[in-house]
Amino acid sequence: MAEKKFTLDDEPAAQNPGATTPAAIPPDVAAHADEIAGASPEVQQHAIDEHARQETATESTAEKDVHGTPFDDKIHTGSKLKSGEWRKRKSTLGSPPKKAAESKQVSGALVMSEAQESQSRMAGAAAASMMFSSLTMIFGDEWQPRKEKDCGFDENKLTSQAFGDYFVSKGVTDFPPGVTLSFVLLGYFAARAQMPKTRSKLQMAKSAVSLWWQARKLRAEFKRKNIALKVEVVDGVILVDGKPNNAAK
């Protein structure tokens, strides 16, 4: 009697007589599966190679800093330091979790929350107001913002809107303290410069500087021509060898 050959299909029945063998795949289903597999496009190796080449080309053409570091909008602001290195974005590691989560970086653009945008526009309006106040103190009432009711032109509104849009685009939610201090000091000095005593002293200082500059030019001219004459300023008058220089204006 010939020995029956053992196959894997016989294993479940041999080990467990109650087990059933898997049902065979119907011929129509198998044919359909073969048809789908045959219709699937083959992997295009040249497309993969081209994609890799383009990525390599992009990296090679990216702008780099003095150390050869390519620009990355996730960590760099886009401007460079005086040393030539990329200026890095401020880290949010030390910020409160709530504030750090309010802003998101999407494709290199800063997406602000409504609260942050409102703060930026308020800071822009404050900047416009301080600018108008300072310029009016320096140059007079002609620099006050104009408003034409007939045509709806409102210079203050337009300028505040422009400042607000700029602050939103830069992600500025608070007017920089240094700029605020500069505007305040400028307005203070400009107002005092209009006072009679201050104006008189400023005029005296201007005249003294002008005389010093003229005497300096005269000394240089004499030196160039090898003329040995002493030039000095005494009591608001330029003296050449002790005599007034009438040619000086």
Residues 203, 163 within the same domain: no
More confident residue, 97 or 237: 237
Domain membership flag for residue 222? yes
Domain membership flag for residue 37? no
Residues 171, 219 within the same domain: no
Residues 240, 220 within the same domain: yes
Residues 118, 189 within the same domain: yes
More confident residue, 248 or 144: 144
Residues 181, 206 within the same domain: no
What pLDDT does residue 186 have? 82
pLDDT at 92 over 80: no
pLDDT at 108 over 80: no
For residue 239, count CB atoms less than 10 angstroms from its CB and return exposed for 0-12, middle for 13-18, buried for 19 or more: middle
pLDDT at 101 over 60: no
pLDDT at 16 over 80: no
Residues 160, 229 within the same domain: no
Domain membership flag for residue 92? no
Residues 183, 142 within the same domain: yes
Amino acid at 51: H
Residue 17: pLDDT band by 50, 70, 90 thresholds? low
Residues 210, 225 within the same domain: yes
What pLDDT does residue 39 have? 59
Domain membership flag for residue 182? yes
How many domains in the chain? 2
What pLDDT does residue 25 have? 60
pLDDT above 90 as % of the chain: 0
Domain membership flag for residue 68? no
Residue 100: pLDDT band by 50, 70, 90 thresholds? very low
Domain membership flag for residue 56? no
More confident residue, 145 or 68: 145
Domain range for 234 is 196-244
pLDDT at 18 over 60: no
pLDDT tens across 169-203, in order? Answer: 888 888 778 888 888 888 788 878 888 888 888 88
In this structure, what are the phi and psi dihedrals at residue 93, rounded to the nearest 5 degrees? -65, -35
Provide the terminal-to-terminal Cα distance of the chain, rounded to the nearest Å: 139
Residues 172, 210 within the same domain: no
Domain membership flag for residue 184? yes
Computed over every residue of the chain, the mean pLDDT equals: 74
86 with 69: CB under 8 angstroms? Answer: yes
Provide DSSP, 64-131: B-TT-PBP-TTTEEEEE-TTSPEEEPPP-TTS-HHHHHH-EEETTEEEPPHHHHHHHHHHHHHHHHHH
Residues 139, 188 within the same domain: yes
Residues 146, 177 within the same domain: yes
pLDDT tens across 24-60, in order? Answer: 566 666 666 666 666 555 656 766 777 777 766 665 6
Report which DSSP code applies to 1.
Answer: -
- Among 115, 99, 121, 132, smallest CA distance to 172 is for 121
Residues 154, 173 within the same domain: yes
Where among 172, 193, 214 does a domain terminate? 193
Domain membership flag for residue 208? yes
